Structure formats: structure tokens, C-alpha cells
Chain A
Amino acid sequence: MITPGHAQGRRRRPVFLALVISLLVVGTAIGPTAAQQPRYGGTLNFIVSAEPPSFDAHRETTFAVLHPIRPHYNLLVKFDTQNYPKVVPDLAESWTASSDGLTYTFKIRRGVRFHDGSILTSRDVKASFDRIIFPKGDVVSVRQAMYDVVDKIEAPNPNTVVFTLKWPSPSFIPILASPFNWIYKADLLDKDPHWYERNVMGTGPFKFGEYVRGSAWTGVRNETYFVRGRPYLDGYRALFIGRAAAQVAAVRSGQALVEFRGFSPSQRDEITQGLGAKVTVQESGWLCNNLVVFNTQKRPFDDARFRRALTLAIDRWGGSRALSQIAFVGPVGGIMRPGSAFAPPETELVKLAGYGRDINAARAEAKKLLAEVGVPDGFEFTLKNRNVQMPYEYVGVFLVDQWRQIGLNVRHVVQETGPYLADLRAGNYEASVDFSCDFMDEPDVQLAKFISNDRSPANYGNYVDRTLDRLYNEESRTRDPGKRLQLVRQFEKRLLDEKIYQIYVLWWQRIIPHWTSLKGYKMTSNHYVDPDLEVLWISD
């Protein structure tokens, strides 16, 4: 949803309102990415709310490395931010898959140059993916497990790269388009596999300018970029501003045109009230969510009936209406992001435990289940949470209230991220707010968290369920989309309705208010894939 911001308060005038409404109509109809002639020049100042720990995306997990540094690099294939989730060639010119789905052959663009002037070849692509998928020595690749399917990578000639898979995988191309899969220069990796942790050398639309730690990261236009006429900007400046209030002030003052992760509803309102029609707001479902993980080794959480009672007690539809006013949460959904290809329609969703529209009936059933399990009225347990106010703490407080309504007394323990993670991984909790954030809507990625904990390091529920594992394996190796959908539904039913090892609370809602003068930006469902600075421009 794209709407220009609106002025509020004492400055409201009929003429102004008419102007805003006409802008709203025009803006919604054509959006900010309408076919205007892009203007060259200018420096885009934007906010990044955290700093990159290192400059090497192969070893990092945070968006803080993507937003400031990704513009220096290209990928083999990438998500088209204007048509997400379509995957398009980047350094690859094209690709073909064998009929058995086991071999993918990529033709590499000719004449692409690194910022030092050297020519990119298939050797660089192979070296980069070898580092991600088959890291050697003390090189850390946090996404290694994601590419289990890859058997080998070959570069038979300077313009061809061949990936051989162990089994046909429908998600291979989208997973390859991960925004973290930057293509590095093979010669530099050969000399020092850690070189990219502290240095930058890519083929991207912007060359490295300057990095003042704790302050800003700058990039300057790559005049020899292989896409003719791109980028439009002369450069960019990523300002590191951690505090939300300071971020809002920076946007309001015009020192930054945008922050690409997302603001809360109140921050959005503060910005639109201050800037009026100078600001445009884009909103979308976010590929992030908060869930609750139960420690299935502790009583009474080891009883599926108790866990079912807990999910039945949550009024997700009511919570969505209320919480979306104050926090960036809202959409009600199961294991796939609401609105995405594999998400169930609402008619299916409401059949899952805790998703029905009749909350009174659900809570009555929950109380019966508690009585069956022998859990007394006023039973106490602890819900652990991370000390991130937006939206974790809002979600935590909401849950405490919901469970109180079936007679449970929940202590909400908010911890700093370090102890929170340590407790989660050590199983030192009864119930805990957890989260997941991904770069694409893909069952292989979203479901992996919930398979048995001896297979998934991100599953903190301390359970082993070979049925879930089987469904996951079948789903990830099935090329027929219809059959995949069925398997995903079965997985979802077992996880959220039958066993209820973990439950979803609410999905997040991404809100990006930005200066209207920033053009070409079309938000996607996540803050990893966008922004693509190559296509952005400033109108004045």
C-alpha cells in the first residue's frame, strides 16, 4: 500500500485537504515508481539503525551489513524489487536447468569489471559460492546449511558456472538469490580468505567511498557499471542512528530521506504530521513474525493439550486490530506470510486451533483442556522475552493478558539479548517469545525452523518429530507446486493444530515513510532484499 503522508492538526485547511486527497488518489493510482523520467545526480542520505559487524555478508546475518555495503556488490541472480518475488539475472546473463532438475548452468555476463578494473569471470562466482557452501579452514559461513542440496560447483570456462544438486530442489534459484550472496574476487580470496571482512571490492553500482565507524558509510557512483545508464544517484550516505527518536528527527529534518527497515505506527504518524505531503508512506506485510516456543521437556508444556489451551486463549484477530495501532504487528497468519503464495486462505486458517473467530468458544475449550490436564486456576509460569520494545515487549504483554483470561498467571521476564539467547539455546525457559525473519517467502526457509531440533539449530522447542521432518523433506524435493502446497498445509496442521510445539502470535507490518522526492523505491516484504539503490533517484 502506498500513500502520501497527510498533514494533521492546526495547519489543516480545506484547500490543503483537497490537495492531499488528490495526491492520495494520484499516488495510489500510479505509485511513487510511476513512469517518470529518472533524474541523475544527488546523494541519497538514509538511516541504518545498526552498524555492520564486518564487511563480509557471507558471515553476517544482519540487515546492517546489507543496507550500507550491498550497493558495492552484485549477486549471481537477484530478486527484482519492482516485481518481488521474481528472480532475475544479475551477474548471470541467463540460466538453464536440466530436465531432471539436478544441473543448473549459468552464463556469466561478459565485460563486467570489479572496481579495481579487473574483469569478472566464472572463477570469481565459483570462488564466492565455494566460500558460502563449502567454507574451508576458519572461514565462517552462516548459510552453509541452507545449501545442503548443492553437490558441487564447476566453472568449465570463463563465462559458465554449473551447479550440480544432490536432489531436485524447487527453491534452489530463489535461495541462490539471497541478498547475502555477494560475488567476491577470487584472487583476493585466494590470498586471504578473510580479506573481505575488513575490505570492499565488488562490481556493484557504487564504489566504496568512506566509512567513519559509528557515524556513516558512503558510496560513490561507479561510472563503469555494466548496466548502461545506472545508477542514477551520484552517491549515497548511510547514517548510523540507533535511537528511534533520533531516526524520526533525522527524517523530519531532511537530513535523511528514509530508513529502509521500518518505523512503528506512532513514528510514522510523527513523521507524516511534521512533513505532510512531502512524505510518502509505503506499507506491506513483513516477512517477520513473533512466535512462542514451548519447552516440551518441562511440565505441563510436555502435554499437547496444555499447549493447545494456550494457543486457543489468544484472540489473534482482536489483537491484530488493537496492536496494529501501536506496534508494527498486524497480519494474522500461520507458518507462511499472509498473502504469500503458500499461505492458506482465511477459510482454511480459521480451522486451526486459536485462529477461529469465536474467541469465547475457544477460551471455553481452553479452560476444559486445562481442567483435563490438571492445571489449576491461577497456575503460574514464566514467559521469557527479549528486551526489544518494538514489537517483542508489546507482544509479550498482549500474551500475558490473553492467558490471564483463561485463569493463568504469567510472569513476563524481559531479558537483554545475550542472556535471552543463552537461555533459549540452553532450554532454560518454560515459554519464550521467539521470532523469525527471512529474505523470501519460501517453505524450505520458513519451515526449516520447526523440524526436529537435532536437525534444525534454530528450533529451541526441544522436540523431535519425524513426521514433521518427513513432510519437510518431501516438500523440499517436490517440484509439483500443487503437491508442495498440500505438504505445506499438512506440516502447518501438525505444527499449529495437532502438536502445537510452537505458535504464531502475529506477523509484522512493514511501514516505510520516506520523502516523496525519493523515487524508484518500491518496498518488498522484507528489509533484506530491498533497497536496490541501483534504481533509486531523487527528484529534486
Chain B
Amino acid sequence: MIPTLLAVAVLVFVLVRVIPGDVVELRLVSGGTFVTKQVVEAERARLGLDKSLWRQFGDWMTGIARFDLGTSMWTGAPITHEIGIRLQLSLQLALMATLIAVAVAIPLGTIAAVRRGTWADAVVQVISVSGLAVPSFWLGILFILFLLSYFHWLPPLTFTPLWQNPRANLLQLIWPALAVGYRYSAVTTRMTRSSLLEVLREDYVRTAWSKGLAGWRVVRHHALRNALLPVVAVIGLEFAFLIGGLVVTEQVFNLNGIGKLFVDAISHRDYTLIQGLMLLVSFAYIVMNLGIDLMHAWLDPRIAYQ
């Protein structure tokens, strides 16, 4: 894990500094005010941007070793605080979208596989292909227009934590969760269907049928469990993606999440915040991969990790 994170750190540190423009110019000059070069240079020095790249990287690494990601160059607030206040929303949204996706995808994918070639399979195919074709942000815009036009109502624009006001929280997040969950479920449905179809062709399943076991029992106990191995991998990776990848959807619903923070950090050239966010997302992927591996071992006893 540590070598991977270190490689990500080096790559991100270099890449963000290749992009032209810097945080001081954007902050002090973009408003059109007459800021002298001396003021710009003084601010650069205050942020440590006048130091050599080696020195800046060294300072950052030293901070990380102490679990200190530093402060945002744009706002001056600690990076952990900036991320912390958004992570709650992003995690909840990712979790809700995953629950919706799993609740829809596993039954639909199973029905499509078991009833392959029937009208049920065709309906599921239409639903899942539509989900793949429709971007979640576009679906989100449709939700908003629908709610606004027919109910003159819009989901709350500010985030309320679940434990403070569950109703307000769910009223805000259910719509983006549905928009994202639909696309997510389409991917998972197709993966469930194809994986289950493969397993259903296996000899041990044929044996189970021929022994006269009940159909649902064969599917549920013998086929689906094994078919879930690739599905779990897809769910895990999608979940990690959702933590920082809902850039446009968050903008559509005005959600103060990690994706929006990413965009702001890049447009502000907030180097320290971009670095912190990239480490967070990398860490999320690594943890999810580990989780997927553990799930595989639990689902398939033949898999053992030492």
C-alpha cells in the first residue's frame, strides 16, 4: 500500500505543477484589481511557492509522515478539515447509490439470466442498456426539471447530516442517489447476467438440476454465489469511483461533495488540496481492492490468502 501511495504522491506532485497558472495569480489577479508584482511575490513566498520543488515535496512528505496534509493554499483551512466536511456527504451518497444499484441489479440480472431469451430478459436488457446510455447528471437534470415543473419543489440545496434531520437529509440525497444508482445498477445488472449465465452452464449446476433440486434453490445456493465474484469486484470499484468521481452530478444537485471539491481545487490551482484529495482517492481504491479480495475469499472458500 505504501509504495503505491508514494508513487501516486510523486506523480500528482509533478503533474499539478505542470499545469500553467498558480493559485496566487488566480486569487489576487483574476478579480482585475491592480495588484503589484511585489504583493504577488510576497504571497507566493508566504505559501512556500518560492522554494525549490525538492524542498516543497520534502515538506509535504514530512507532513504526511506526521499525518498532516497541510493547509489549503486557497482557503488556508487544514486539508483534513476541507476533506472531512465533504467526505460525509460523498460517502453517504456512494452508499445510497450502491444500495439502490445492488437492490435493483442482482434480482434483475438473475431474472435476465434465468429467463434468457424471454420477454423478461428483453425488458431487463432495455432497462440496463438505457442506464448505460443515459449519463447520471442528465438524469439528475431531468429529475430537477420534473420536480420543479410539476411540483414547484426542489430538493434542499444545503446538506443536513442524517442524524440531525433524517428527512431533510434523505430528501436531498435520494434524487442524486437514484440518478447515480440507475447507471450503476445497469453496469451491475449486465455483469450479474453474464456471470450467472456462465455459471449456469457449469456441470455442477446441471447436476443439481438433474438431481431434481428446486429451481430457485439451484440458482440461489449453487449458481448465484459463485457468479457474484466478478459482480463484487464491479461493485467495489464503482463504490470507490463514486467517492470522488461524481463531479458533474454534484454540480447539478449543488452537492458539497468530494467531486466538487476536486474541481474547485484544480480550478484554483490549490496544489496542497489536490495532492490531499488524490491521496484520499488512491487510498479509497486500495482499501476497496482489499475489501474485494476479502469478499472473494468469503464467497469462494477455494480462495485463500496468506
- Name A's B-contacting residues (CB within 8 A): 51, 53-54, 60-62, 138, 140-146, 197-198, 212-216, 239-243, 245-246, 249-250, 252-256, 274, 416-423, 425, 435-437, 448-449, 456-458
Q: What is the CA–CA distance of A252 and B141 in the complex, to the nearest angstrom?
A: 15
B contact residues around A420 at 8 Å (CB): 21
- Check if A197 sits within 8 Å of B148, measured CB to CB: no
- Name B's A-contacting residues (CB within 8 A): 19-22, 25-37, 39, 42-43, 45-46, 74-77, 82, 85-86, 141, 144, 148, 152-154, 156-159, 251-254, 256, 260-261, 264, 267, 269
Contacts A242-B251, A253-B153 known; list 12 others, CB within 8 Å: A61-B33, A142-B33, A198-B77, A212-B85, A213-B75, A215-B256, A253-B154, A256-B157, A418-B22, A419-B21, A421-B25, A457-B35
Q: A140-B28, A253-B152, A437-B31 are in contact. Are A239 and B251 (CB under 8 A)?
A: no
- Check if A138 sits within 8 Å of B46, measured CB to CB: yes
**What distance in Å separates the Cβ of A432 from its nearest Cβ neighbour in chain B?**
13
Shortest Cβ distance from B269 into A: residue: A418
- Check if B82 sits within 8 Å of A213, measured CB to CB: yes
Q: What is the CA–CA distance of A202 and B299 in the complex, to the nearest angstrom?
A: 61
Q: What is the CA–CA distance of A354 and B267 in the complex, to the nearest angstrom?
A: 36
- Check if B158 sits within 8 Å of A243, measured CB to CB: no
- Check if A458 sits within 8 Å of B33, measured CB to CB: yes
- Check if B28 sits within 8 Å of A61, measured CB to CB: yes
B contact residues around A425 at 8 Å (CB): 25, 29
**What distance in Å separates the Cβ of A44 from its nearest Cβ neighbour in chain B?**
15
CB within 8 A of A436: which of B32, B35, B85? B32
Shortest Cβ distance from B151 into A: residue: A253
Shortest Cβ distance from A139 into B: residue: B42
Q: A214-B256, A253-B148 are in contact. Are A146 and B85 (CB under 8 A)?
A: no
- Check if A214 sits within 8 Å of B74, measured CB to CB: no
Most buried by A among B28, B154, B260: B154
- Check if A145 sits within 8 Å of B34, measured CB to CB: yes
Task: Sort A-B residue pairs by CB-CB distance and give the 7 closest, nearest first.
Answer: A418-B21, A61-B31, A214-B256, A253-B154, A419-B20, A61-B33, A215-B158
Could you pull out 18 A-B pairs where Cβ atoms are within 8 angstroms? A61-B33, A61-B35, A144-B39, A146-B34, A212-B158, A213-B75, A215-B159, A215-B256, A252-B152, A253-B148, A253-B152, A255-B156, A255-B157, A416-B21, A418-B26, A419-B19, A435-B32, A457-B34
B contact residues around A138 at 8 Å (CB): 42, 45-46
- Check if B157 sits within 8 Å of A239, measured CB to CB: yes
**What distance in Å separates the Cβ of B9 from its nearest Cβ neighbour in chain A?**
22
A contact residues around B33 at 8 Å (CB): 61, 142-143, 458
**What distance in Å separates the Cβ of B61 from its nearest Cβ neighbour in chain A?**
25
Q: A138-B42, A416-B267, A418-B26 are in contact. Are A457 and B36 (CB under 8 A)?
A: yes
Give the secondary structure class of B's interface: loop
CB within 8 A of B34: which of A51, A255, A256, A448? A448
A contact residues around B152 at 8 Å (CB): 252-254
- Check if A243 sits within 8 Å of B252, measured CB to CB: yes
Give the secondary structure class of A's interface: mixed
- Check if B141 sits within 8 Å of A245, measured CB to CB: yes
- Check if A449 sits within 8 Å of B77, measured CB to CB: no
A contact residues around B86 at 8 Å (CB): 214
Q: What is the CA–CA distance of A36 and B36 in the complex, to the nearest angstrom?
A: 47
CB within 8 A of A250: which of B19, B82, B157? B157
A contact residues around B144 at 8 Å (CB): 249
Q: What is the CA–CA distance of A390 and B138 in the complex, to the nearest angstrom?
A: 22
- Check if A422 sits within 8 Å of B25, measured CB to CB: yes
- Check if A246 sits within 8 Å of B39, measured CB to CB: no
Q: What is the CA–CA distance of A22 and B82 in the complex, to the nearest angstrom?
A: 51
Most buried by A among B19, B22, B27, B42: B27
- Check if A53 sits within 8 Å of B254, measured CB to CB: no
Q: What is the CA–CA distance of A140 and B141 in the complex, to the nearest angstrom?
A: 42
A contact residues around B43 at 8 Å (CB): 140
Q: A246-B254, A253-B152, A457-B36 are in contact. Are A142 and B76 (CB under 8 A)?
A: no
- Check if A214 sits within 8 Å of B261, measured CB to CB: yes
A contact residues around B85 at 8 Å (CB): 212-214
Q: A140-B28, A243-B252 are in contact. Are A54 and B76 (CB under 8 A)?
A: yes
- Check if B76 sits within 8 Å of A198, measured CB to CB: yes
Most buried by A among B30, B141, B252: B30
Shortest Cβ distance from A135 into B: residue: B39
- Check if A417 sits within 8 Å of B34, measured CB to CB: no
A contact residues around B21 at 8 Å (CB): 416-422
Shortest Cβ distance from A146 into B: residue: B34
Q: What is the CA–CA distance of A425 and B31 in the complex, to the nearest angstrom?
A: 14
Q: What is the CA–CA distance of A435 and B29 in the complex, to the nearest angstrom?
A: 12
CB within 8 A of A418: which of B19, B46, B141? B19
CB within 8 A of B157: which of A53, A213, A241, A422? A241
CB within 8 A of B75: which of A53, A140, A216? A53
- Check if B39 sits within 8 Å of A140, measured CB to CB: yes
Q: What is the CA–CA distance of A146 and B36 in the complex, to the nearest angstrom?
A: 11
Q: What is the CA–CA distance of A385 and B28 in the complex, to the nearest angstrom?
A: 19
- Check if B35 sits within 8 Å of A214, measured CB to CB: no
B contact residues around A449 at 8 Å (CB): 34
Most buried by A among B33, B86, B152, B267: B33
- Check if B158 sits within 8 Å of A216, measured CB to CB: yes
- Check if B28 sits within 8 Å of A418, measured CB to CB: no
Q: What is the CA–CA distance of A420 and B39 in the complex, to the nearest angstrom?
A: 20
Shortest Cβ distance from A445 into B: residue: B34
Shortest Cβ distance from A63 into B: residue: B31
Shortest Cβ distance from A275 into B: residue: B152
